[in-house]
Chain A
Amino acid sequence: MPEPMGFYTDTTVCIGCKACEVACKEWNQLPATNGGRSKLSGDSYDNTRRLDGIHWRHVKFIEQFDAERRQGRWLMMSDVCKHCVRAGCLEVCPTGAIIRTEFDTVVIQSDVCNGCRDCIGACPFGVIDINPVSGTAQKCTLCYDRMRAGMTPACAQACPTASINFGPIRELKQKAQARVEQLHGRGERGAYLYGDDEKMLGGLNSFYLLVDKPEVYGLPPDPKMPTRNLKRGSLWSALGAVVVGVVGLISLRSRRDVNV
């Protein structure tokens, strides 16, 4: 069994070139929005806006300034499926289309998916959506086909600045820790890793180095599994069952009364 593999994305060196988006689409043969004739979004240089069934990589652009606009920075981040160790999508999939691979990554098998959309609501990151071509739920496979052939995923291969790093999770974590320390040493105290430890959904096999709060990047600060409500939900179910039972008993009794 190979060891867990994944991505470590260092957002501090992302230049927003979107080579990852294009490489992903080329390898996975994903169509463009409206055949390429899309609309200007008006939101910085981001015109694809989100991850969905035909955008498995997405580069976010965040423009930040101080009050007088003397200082500014342009944060860029290449977003992708997090390949959670405890994956909500996998948990809720009723057909078994979503599997955990030998690389500890999460893959949707298009030929098993029935397009029920349960996984779309279950993902706390909003990664999954229906691909209109196949009519099934789709997302990043971490280039499962390339990995099985011993190759690097297309996006990481195309990244010119090594913002997207691919490899065994164990090695990526060491690399990422060293980078955080380097940045702290240079005075960038805000640098931290998002999703590298088990507290977040058992660990994200695609984790990030960020320099601002998760919300700034459109990431949930504390993502939860869809099962998080299970306990409370089941209590309500039990209570509901009791109520139904009591009501039933009462109605039976009253019916009996009528019969008598």
Chain B
Amino acid sequence: MFQIVKRHFARYTPEMVERVTGCPRDTFLKVAETLLASSGADRTTSFAYAVAWTQHTNGPQIIGCAALLQLLLGNVGRPGAGIMALRGHASIQGSTDIPTLYHSIHGYMSHPSALKKHDTLANWLAAETSARGYWANTPKFMISYMKSMYGEAATRDNDFGYEWHPKIIGDHSHLPMFVAMNEGRVKGMLCIGQNPATSINALVERRGLGKLEWLVVKDNWVTETATFWKTAPEVKSGTVKLGDIKTEVFFFPSAQVAEYDGSFTNTQRMLQWHYKAAEPPGDCRSDLWFTHQLAKRLKQMYANSTAPRDAGFKALTWDFDPDPSLPHEPGEVPPTAGDPDGLKILKEINGYYSDEPTKHVASFGDLKDDGSTTCASWIYCGVFPAPGQNRSASRKADPPGTPGAQLGWGYAWPANRRIMYNRASADLNGRPWSERKKWVWWDGEQKKWVGLDVPDFAATKPPTAKANPDAIGLDGLSGTDPFIMKTDGKGWLYVPSGLVDGPLPTHYEPAESPVRNPLYKQQASPVYKYWKREDNALVQPGDSRFPIVITTYRLTEHYLAGAMSRFNPWLTELQPELFIEMSPELAAEKSIANLDWVRVSTPRSSIRAKALVTRRLRPFTIDGRVVHHVGMPWHWGYEGLVTGDVVNELTSLVADPNVSIHEGKAFVCNVEKV
């Protein structure tokens, strides 16, 4: 495999890098040499990336490239190593673990799908269970999850209620959902803490909102999504008639995070509990309150239904009302009336014994595939191992100056391991690679893995253990196979399955680019997703009408679409107006002076912004030709203390083929002085 990798990347010379990206050869070599000098037995390197690495039609290829480099450099499973996604939200990690993703259920199991052989529980298990590696335990996790969904109604005789579980019928991610909305295939939407009116190809998204019968917006402020029907520029200008929008919009004011109990999960997979500090003002309620009350009302509504399609809703367990007999701790702010009990939800996630619900499951190793255990999300099992022991609320720090894993601070899934695949922190014989980088190692006397962290390996399997080719689960892996979630226990340089767009990272230009791909005849990823619509036209490579590269990003002073920052005067005075950053060279070419109004156009829309001319931006030289680029923060909209045009009107509905992430980080435009 290494030879294949070498052959594949042979053409990626420093000269080619400079030709393709405009990054000078010297700079590239400096980065490469720094990586090499900072990796080895005594050194490790970590990649920390913001979501800019993912927001490309080849985003997973970019992340895959980092993974490949880290594997080759020995930077996985060791302290100071790894790849850290700096998330765009406080608990985005948590929202993939306990997913708001359409294609997975809790703990990274595949969502039952009508497009796969998932018609029965047995077929789902057959399709999703691996023979070797830790995923051999999938039936235990799945059946404990089904018990969490349907409780006593889930029995062996009815496949633990698998028939009732919803199935996906396609790509239900953000972009295709708004395409479906435009086509009248979506009736209503609960929009909680999102602002799609300013999201990717915003005109298409707002058009979609206008086709809904009803829309619930739950946010801290009346956002652009809540008022798209009256304040959006196309309504103000009369292009869209207010009377033609039939959507009934309901607004629910939201409580802030300090106004309810809950947990965060950060990019290190660490759960940290937070306590309610204040009562929310007026009618503001938490998302928990809303979801809980909605579920209770729906269950009541369907209680007497005899329709087979409602059987699942009737069987769904929903027991999160706070226990009135439990007194509050002194100083604790009592829950808002109608809020669910956060600890009851945490218990459901952690798991308990089906016949003895007061007894919590202490570890996912104890989960069973016979229905005797109930556990919503196996990876979180252990966070709440016994009543009164919420480990996510633990705040015991290691003494300063120690190479501690901080095992007493919060709780990291799985099993409180702070570094995953940490068997790799020891050499083949189980000894630390170096004193400075020791983490987990084999103790020959105790005959087990020990160290600063919880070992992420079969606890007593010695480094000399041979793989048993006939065994299932971890016994199929040897004592030198750290990657226990993989079927062969190895880190994969070459990814034969799992990725839609290919086994090795490869350079493709974005869906829109002013240059031809100098590496391949294939210009852009041949499998990126594109939704063909008149209002989603793309620029063809080399189209002289749109010669300028544009990227979009965020500022520290604002948050996302601005619902949490553009309504706060202390933040708005710091960044009051939308701007477009450009180099002095481009400004001179276009006769644009600093602070001039500028029109920015793509085939999707055209917007206005003030020019911020800065030497920080330098024109690229790509394949021998000067290519200009501009950058725009995308925080503004038509609501709030400060307003500005919606930058995402410029972007298009294109996405990577694996996880349907858009390409707001690289497309093309034109810029003219107004």
Q: Which residues of A contact B (CB under 8 A)?
A: 15-18, 21-22, 25-26, 31-40, 42, 44-45, 47-48, 63, 65, 69-70, 72, 74
Contact = CB atoms under 8 A, between A and B. Distances in A.
B576 A40 contact: yes
B635 to A, nearest CB: 13
24 contacts: A15-B556, A18-B556, A18-B557, A18-B574, A21-B570, A22-B571, A22-B574, A31-B569, A35-B569, A36-B570, A36-B576, A36-B641, A38-B572, A39-B576, A40-B595, A42-B595, A42-B612, A42-B613, A47-B574, A48-B574, A63-B615, A65-B615, A69-B615, A72-B615
Contacts of B24: 70
Interface string B628-646: 0000000000000110000
A32 B614 contact: no
B573 A33 contact: yes
Interface string B430-464: 00000000000000000000000000000000000
A225 B481 CA distance: 71
A21 B615 contact: no
A236 to B, nearest CB: 45
Q: Which 5 A-B pairs have the closest CB atoms?
A: A36-B569, A32-B569, A36-B572, A40-B577, A32-B573
A36 B615 CA distance: 28
Interface string B530-554: 0000000000000000000000000
B595 A38 contact: no
A31 B641 CA distance: 14
A34 B573 CA distance: 8
A42 B574 CA distance: 12
B266 interface: no
A140 to B, nearest CB: 16
B573 A48 contact: yes
A36 B612 contact: no
B576 A26 contact: no
B6 interface: no
B556 A16 contact: yes
Contacts of B571: 22, 36
B572 A45 contact: no
B642 A37 contact: yes
A70 to B, nearest CB: 8
A192 B488 CA distance: 56
A16 B642 CA distance: 21
B328 interface: no
Contacts of A44: 614
Contact of B616 (A16, A22, A35, A74): A74
B575 interface: yes
B221 interface: no
Given A31-B569, A42-B610, A70-B24, 13 more contacts: A22-B570, A25-B570, A32-B573, A33-B573, A35-B641, A36-B569, A36-B576, A37-B642, A38-B576, A40-B595, A40-B612, A44-B614, A69-B618
Contacts of B595: 40, 42
A57 to B, nearest CB: 11
Contacts, number: 71
B429 interface: no
Contacts of B568: 36
Nearest to A59: B574
- Identify the interface centre among A33, A40, A65: most chain B CB within 10 Å of its CB: A40
Q: B interface, by DSSP: helix, strand, loop or mixed?
A: loop
Nearest to A74: B616
A42 B555 contact: no
B38 to A, nearest CB: 15
Nearest to A16: B556
A118 to B, nearest CB: 28
Nearest to A19: B556
B594 interface: yes
B134 interface: no
B593 to A, nearest CB: 9
B579 interface: yes
Interface string B251-267: 00000000000000000
A219 to B, nearest CB: 22
Interface string B571-589: 1111111010000000000
B258 to A, nearest CB: 14
Contacts of A39: 576-577
B616 A72 contact: yes
Contacts of B613: 42
A21 B612 CA distance: 22
Interface of B: 24, 555-557, 568-577, 579, 594-595, 610, 612-616, 618, 641-642
B174 to A, nearest CB: 29
Contacts of B556: 15-18
Nearest to A33: B573
A26 B614 contact: no
A242 to B, nearest CB: 55
B228 to A, nearest CB: 23
Nearest to B566: A36
A35 B349 CA distance: 45
- Identify the interface centre among B576, B615, B616: most chain A CB within 10 Å of its CB: B576
Contacts of A32: 569-570, 572-573
Contacts of B579: 40
A158 to B, nearest CB: 12
Contacts of A65: 615
A171 to B, nearest CB: 17
A35 B610 CA distance: 21
A72 B614 CA distance: 12
Contact of A37 (B555, B616, B618, B641): B641
Contacts of A35: 569, 641
A158 B555 CA distance: 18
Given A36-B642, A37-B641, A47 B575 contact: yes
A36 B614 contact: no
Nearest to B640: A36
B455 to A, nearest CB: 33
Contacts of B569: 31-32, 35-36
A38 B569 CA distance: 9
Contacts of A21: 570, 574
A115 to B, nearest CB: 24
Contact of B573 (A17, A36, A45, A74): A36
Contacts of B594: 42
Nearest to B617: A69
Contacts of A15: 556
A36 B234 CA distance: 26
Contacts of B615: 63, 65, 69, 72
Nearest to B615: A65
Contacts of A34: 573
A37 B574 contact: no
B567 to A, nearest CB: 9
A65 B614 CA distance: 11
Given A44-B614, A74-B616, A26 B570 contact: yes
A40 B595 CA distance: 8
A47 B556 CA distance: 13
Contacts of B618: 69
B616 A63 contact: yes
A26 B574 CA distance: 14
Contacts of B576: 36-40, 47
B10 to A, nearest CB: 29
Contacts of B555: 45
B370 to A, nearest CB: 49
A37 B614 contact: no
A32 B574 CA distance: 9
A70 B621 CA distance: 13
Nearest to B571: A22
Contacts of B573: 32-34, 36-38, 47-48
A154 to B, nearest CB: 12
Contacts of A69: 615, 618
A143 to B, nearest CB: 17
A103 B571 CA distance: 31
A36 B610 CA distance: 18
B614 A63 contact: yes
